[in-house]
Amino acid sequence: MVSPKSDKTYVDTQLALKADKLTTYTKTEVDTSLGLKANQSSTYTKTEVDGLVSPKSDKTYVDAQLALKANQLTTYTKTEVDTALGLKANQSSTYTKTEVDTALGLKANQSTTYTKTEVDTALALKANQSTTYTKTEVDTELAKKANTTDMNVALALKSDKTYVDTQLALKANQSTTYTKTEVDTELAKKVNQTDLEANYYTKSQTYTKLDASKT
């Protein structure tokens, strides 16, 4: 399943809405700077000071009061701070650079991952596991089968069915014939023809001998 990570395009779009780190201050930097400033409700602006400081004001007093003020060259006015802050996104709705880097660190590199569409397309080309066999199951079943080459060699040694059927058609039915053993047994009961001719007369020879004895 595809990990529920943010899309690269989405992250790039969101990052494009952020200010460049090189030209902005972090919250910590702004907070540090603001922490060095006096509260506006307890300070006077330059105009207010100029209006209050009379040409007759005591120089010592003025110097003492000015010594309490931050150098304008090293501070921002309220307007400048407000303007700068107005360009910043609300911290509650943004991520810091560290948070973004951490989140991106948890994402897989796009070049080594598939998009949801690619995964769905690939899965659509696959058969359902419930209707297919695993490689192990197929190998197990094939192991039970005879090798085609071995089978062909074995079949080559067998007689052709048509030939066998033809030869069998030329044979007498076993129920109407004698086996070799049966024939041999019966022949063993008979007198050898050579012995018969040497010791016995045939029917024709017997008649001839009888006729000759009457004359």
Q: Higher pLDDT residue, 177 or 51?
A: 177
User: Angle of helix 27-35 relative to helix 78-86, nearest 10 degrees?
Assistant: 170
Q: What is the mean pLDDT of residues 23-50?
A: 78
pLDDT per position as a tens digit, 110-126: 888 888 888 888 888 88
Give the pLDDT score at 6: 57
- Residue 96's pLDDT band (boundaries 50, 70, 90)? confident
pLDDT per position as a tens digit, 135-171: 888 888 888 888 888 888 887 777 788 888 888 888 8
- Residue 57's pLDDT band (boundaries 50, 70, 90)? low
**Cβ atoms 89, 18 nearer than 8 A:** yes
- Residue 1's pLDDT band (boundaries 50, 70, 90)? very low
Q: Where are the alpha helices (DSSP H) in the chain?
A: 8-16, 27-35, 46-52, 59-67, 78-86, 97-105, 116-124, 135-143, 148-156, 161-169, 180-188, 193-199, 203-214
Distance CA 75, CA 69 (A): 10
**Is the full-model pTM beyond 0.75?**
no
Distance CA 12, CA 17 (A): 9
Distance CA 69, CA 62 (A): 11
